[in-house]
Amino acid sequence: MSAPFKSEPLLTPAEVATALRVDPKTVTRWAKAGKVTCIFTVGHHRRYFRAEIEALLRGHPLTRQQVEALRGQL
């Protein structure tokens, strides 16, 4: 049986922190400041779009329109 929907892979704050080599609290501060986009799970945990973090690592941040398109995939 296939999954009911396909969504963009999401990362935890710890996974983002490891990828960007910063503290998880820094990732949370960036999200609060609007530097990276996060969504909240039902349990109110932050999750980050893998595509956005990978774009940051490549040095080509996503535009707001691209991030909104990712949100639309959820």
Residue 13: Cβ within 10 Å count: 20
Burial 41-60 (b: 16+ CB within 10 A, else e): eeeeebbbbbbbbebbeeee
Give the confidence band of 8 by pLDDT, cuts at 50, 70, 90: low
Q: What is the pLDDT of residue 11?
A: 95
What domains can you pick out in the chain, each with its CATH number?
Answer: 10-72 (1.10.1660.10)
DSSP 8: -
Interacting residues of 56 by C-beta distance below 8 A, sequence separation 6+: 20, 36
pTM of the model: 0.80
Per-residue pLDDT of 13-66, as tens digits, reads: 999 999 999 999 999 999 999 999 999 999 999 999 999 999 999 988 888 888
Q: What is the pLDDT of residue 73?
A: 74
How far apart CA 7 and CA 20 sit, in angstroms, is: 23
